[in-house]
Amino acid sequence: MHAIDVRELRKSYPKKIPLPFRKVEWIEAVKGISFRVRKGELFGLLGPNGAGKTTTIKILTTLLEPSGGSAEVLGYDIRKDAREIRKRINLVAEGERTLYWRLSAYENLKYFARIYYVPKNEEKERIEQLLRLVGLWERRNDLVMNYSRGMKQRLAIAKALINDPEVLFLDEPTLGLDVQSAVFVREFIRKLVDEQKKTVLLTTHYMAEAEELCDRIAIIDHGKIIALDTPSGLKRLVKGEDAVQIRVRDLSFQGIKSLPWKLVIVKEDAERGTVTLRGHVSEEDLPKVVESLVKTGAKILSVEQKEPTLEDVFIKLTGRALRD
């Protein structure tokens, strides 16, 4: 039995609130996706904003009713067995205030321990263990409103572990965190899988995060899974293709569209006025690419050959960068 088994899952939303005599337009956020997550696996859903990642997680955690298809979590049907699923999972939701800011960290975990019926004789020990685990024991009596964003996210993960879930869902767990906090969270997530044998489903739009953490990755775009494999397996899709990264200033967006080579913008620095382009260009064509960019008025700042990444896989599959 798999920890998660998704079959042709769909979700549609009405574009407008239906009124008498108004035709309802539907937006299909998830378009018949299928995948399985093994027990003890760290599985990633990688895709841009609006790809359907959060909708998928909300369906699997029984917060949303699917429009079609089916899914099981730990062998329980998401429609029929929502109560049983909720006992065995937990969720760290992106962009949602799931902590009580006017309570301390300790008071938050005590409250959620009662919500999840943690046995009274285990409550104190479990709270201390979790706060030490996420490095917040010394700040346990501070109000959450005085925590940094990184500390709040660590506490949110501790809160999600209070019921000792078999499956943990993490929706963009490092979004908006500073580098140090993001590193801590990533290392902690990996330890949950390696040492505590948790099953984790993670959504992210950070290529490096997915590659570093995940055992397998499903790339999702416009509500569809377009590729699913291990990080190394996905990168084999672009094996042998030269990845070139060019940093320029004064780029003409019309000029780049007229080029015969497929170059996409992967980074913009508005402060410096620079743009970073990436694409697959052969060694023979590279001088022509540089010359063509110069003719459009762009100033070349650097040209580098790069090892293929998941960004290159996404570009190959969709014809655009993940940021678009």
* pLDDT tens digits, one per residue of 215-254: 999 999 999 999 999 999 998 888 767 788 889 888 877 7
Which residue type, as a one-letter code, is found at position 294?
A: V
Could you tell me the CATH number of the domain that includes residue 285? Answer: 3.30.70.120
| Domain encompassing residue 23 | 4-236
If one counts the domains in the chain, the total is: 2
pLDDT of residue 281: 80
Q: In this model, does residue 259 exceed pLDDT 80? A: no
List beta partners, residue 170: 92, 202
- 296 with 246, same domain? yes
Mean of per-residue pLDDT scores for the chain: 90
Q: What percent of the chain has pLDDT over 90?
A: 62
Residues 144 and 217 occupy one common structural domain: yes
pLDDT band at 18 (very low <50, low <70, confident <90, very high): low
Look at residue 61 and tell me if it is in a domain: yes
Q: Residue 24 belongs to a domain with what CATH number?
A: 3.40.50.300
Least confident of 82-86, 207-211, 256-260: 256-260
Q: Is residue 312 included in any domain, yes or no?
A: no
> Same domain for 184 and 160?
yes
- Is the pLDDT at 299 greater than 80? The verdict is yes
Q: Give me the sign of the Cα torsion angle 44, 47, 52, 58.
A: positive
pLDDT score for 272:
80
Strands (E), the chain: 4-14, 26-37, 42-46, 68-73, 76-77, 89-92, 167-171, 199-204, 216-221, 224-229, 243-249, 263-269, 274-280, 299-306
In this structure, the answer to whether residues 146 and 262 fall within a common structural domain is no
Domain membership of residue 319 (yes or no) is no
Identify whether the C-beta of residue 301 lies closer than 8 Å to the C-beta of residue 248.
yes
Question: Do 142 and 278 fall within a single domain?
Answer: no
Q: Are residues 87 and 208 in the same domain?
A: yes
Indicate if 197 and 299 belong to the same structural domain.
no
Q: What share of the chain is helix, strand, coil (3-state, %, to 5)?
A: 35, 30, 35
Note the pLDDT tens digit of each residue in 200-219: 999 999 988 999 999 999 99
Last residue of a domain, one of 174, 203, 236: 236
Confidence category of residue 260, pLDDT binned at 50, 70, 90: confident
> Is 323 within a domain?
no
- pLDDT at residue 262, as a whole number: 76
